[in-house]
Amino acid sequence: MDILIKRVVIFSMALVIFAGCSAVDIKQYEGDTPQFLLYEYFKGETKGWGIVQDRKGNLLRQFVVDIKGTVNEQGELVLDEDFYWRDGEQEKRIWTIGRSGERSYTGKAADVIDSAKGEAYGNVLNWQYRLNLEVDGRTWEIHFDDWMFLQPDNVLINKAVMSKFGFKVGEITIVFLKNIQ
């Protein structure tokens, strides 16, 4: 009986700990400035510098991304992204992003499963999606939870946590710079 009580206590403590690990409420950023307006920020040319780290923080890869943003006839933001990896690999992704509400967005790209969903408050955008990612010749379905924070001087910091089956497998950090003429 003593072992049963210990197991119940341990299980109860685990529930309390995991219940306390809730998601960040994006609404807390509502008054923060500068205000992040997704379409305005990515319209035109934007450049980003990024790193990919494994779940332990080890640097795996580095890249530069050039983005050309346009608004199509349907009023959607189209992001044409060219990735240049430090190891010489080049990659292209084209996002089509539409407004689904006053503060919400949906997006599609060829390697995105179903659609991405985003929400913006103040200077922050949270963007979530599942992506088919090539790893060592195999395709993995990875969940991305991106948090973009607009800073003064048109600097945008993007931190993305990658997970599979609910477990963190890595992180991507990108710093974007928007040249405003």
- Separation of alpha carbons 31 and 12, rounded Å: 37
- In the prediction, which pLDDT does 23 show? 81
Q: Which residues of the chain have pLDDT under 50?
A: 7-22
Give me the sign of the Cα torsion angle 30, 113, 173, 44: negative
Which pLDDT belongs to residue 181? Answer: 52
Nearest to 155 by CA among 131, 173, 129: 173
**Which domains, from first to last, does the chain contain?**
2-178 (2.40.128.20)
The predicted structure's pLDDT at residue 20: 40
The neighbouring-strand residues paired with 154 are none
State the pTM of this model.
0.85
- Residue 15 confidence (pLDDT): 40
pLDDT at 136: 85
Give the model's pLDDT for residue 13. Answer: 44
pLDDT digits (tens, 9 = 90+) for 122-159: 999 999 999 999 888 999 999 999 999 999 999 999 99
Q: pLDDT digit string (tens) for 108-128?
A: 999 999 999 999 999 999 999
Nearest to 144 by CA among 131, 158, 157, 134: 131
